[in-house]
Amino acid sequence: MLVEGLVSTIVPVHNRPALLREAVNSALAQTYRPIEIIIVDDGSTDRTPQVALALASAYPSVVQVVRTANAGPGAAREAGRRKARGSFIQYLDSDDILLPNKFAAQTSGLMQFPHCDVSYGKTCHQGYGEGTSDQPWKRTGERIVTMFPSFLQSRWWGTSTPLYRRRLTDQAGPWLPLSSEEDWEYDCRLASFGVNLHYCDALISIERSHEGHRLSNGGSGDPRKLADRTQVHELILNHARKAGISREADEMQHFSRELFLLSRQCGAAGLKKESERLFRLAREASLPHRAAGIDFRVYEMAARAIGWTTVGRLAARLDMLRQ
């Protein structure tokens, strides 16, 4: 049952008892009410389940715990989304922190501007145990009106940054059970609906880095993650096309170069099918003169002659030399 005005905070967690407590406490400390907090324990094997249950016991009217088999961040967020009752949705990774006025500022903005479906504000980045900087992280200090086309260049906010209207997350449907870049795909799927953004000119959250395991680390050498990244990049390209972003857009040309780079990385990792598929997509997304250019023609001839894996490994070495 949908509860109007309720903010649902979904916190996926895997083996982070101390960090989980800090993240949940930051949601509990919000000046805004009503709220609910849904902890999704993604198959933890340490004390995390006990900490989650203790939080639910201490705040039974606010905190609930969902226990799932370990399946990664996308599946965990989806388990929480299905339980959420709020008309506003907040995703919060278990190593990040919300600042106390976040929900008050963002719900006020979304109510004031009903044509906007996502509110974002300034997020800072902090190494765990370090002091907090007030410098906006990524592009969260910029006033940007829509998610596309800028999200083709990068996911320029952190998971803690946006507050979504429930109507938008319902329209987008489920998170995908991917091991890498599932958050970028999800936001680009939202962007394909032509989302208008509300900008909250205030510091609202802290993204924290640390040496421990992260639920959604990326990578250019792990074959499983590369296969997932291939799926993500193809989906993002489809989302951008649905949104009407043309090949002439600078952001689309940036993304076409990303596709070509990922093609080379997949080849180097032995993923022939993925490498060839990404190469085709990169060429399709490129401007005509570049699609017919020497870099694509030479790479394709080399791949046909010595194989996508071998040419990918050679290209990866050249890429490293250029850095």
Domain boundaries in the chain? 3-209, 223-322
Task: Assess whether pLDDT exceeds 50 at residue 214.
Answer: no
| Cβ atoms within 10 Å, residue 125 | 18
The residue written with tokens 């198959």 in the block is: 43
State percent of the chain over pLDDT 70.
96
Q: What is the predicted pLDDT for the residue at 215? A: 45
CATH class of 3-209: alpha beta
Q: Which tens digit of pLDDT belongs to each residue from 255-300?
A: 999 999 999 999 999 999 999 999 999 999 999 999 999 999 999 9
Q: Residue 201 has which token pair?
A: 């000119």
Task: Assess whether pLDDT exceeds 50 at residue 217.
Answer: no
Q: What is the predicted pLDDT for the residue at 186? A: 98
Closest C-alpha among 281, 258, 275 to residue 312:
275
Task: Assess whether pLDDT exceeds 70 at residue 321.
Answer: yes
Answer yes or no: are the C-beta atoms of 162 and 120 closer than 8 Å.
Answer: yes
Output the DSSP codes for 97-153.
Answer: EE-TTHHHHHHHHHHH-TT--EEEEEEEEEETTSPPP-SPPTTTTS--SBSTTGGGT
Rounded to an integer, the average pLDDT of 226-243 is 98
Q: What is the predicted pLDDT for the residue at 88? A: 98
Q: Which tens digit of pLDDT belongs to each residue from 48-71?
A: 999 999 999 999 999 999 999 999
Task: Assess whether pLDDT exceeds 60 at residue 82.
Answer: yes
| pTM of the shown model | 0.94
Rounded to an integer, the average pLDDT of 110-116 is 98
Q: What is the predicted pLDDT for the residue at 93? A: 98
Rounded to an integer, the average pLDDT of 90-114 is 98
> From the CA atom positions of the chain, what is the Rg in Å?
21
Q: What is the predicted pLDDT for the residue at 209? A: 83
The pLDDT mean for the chain works out to 94
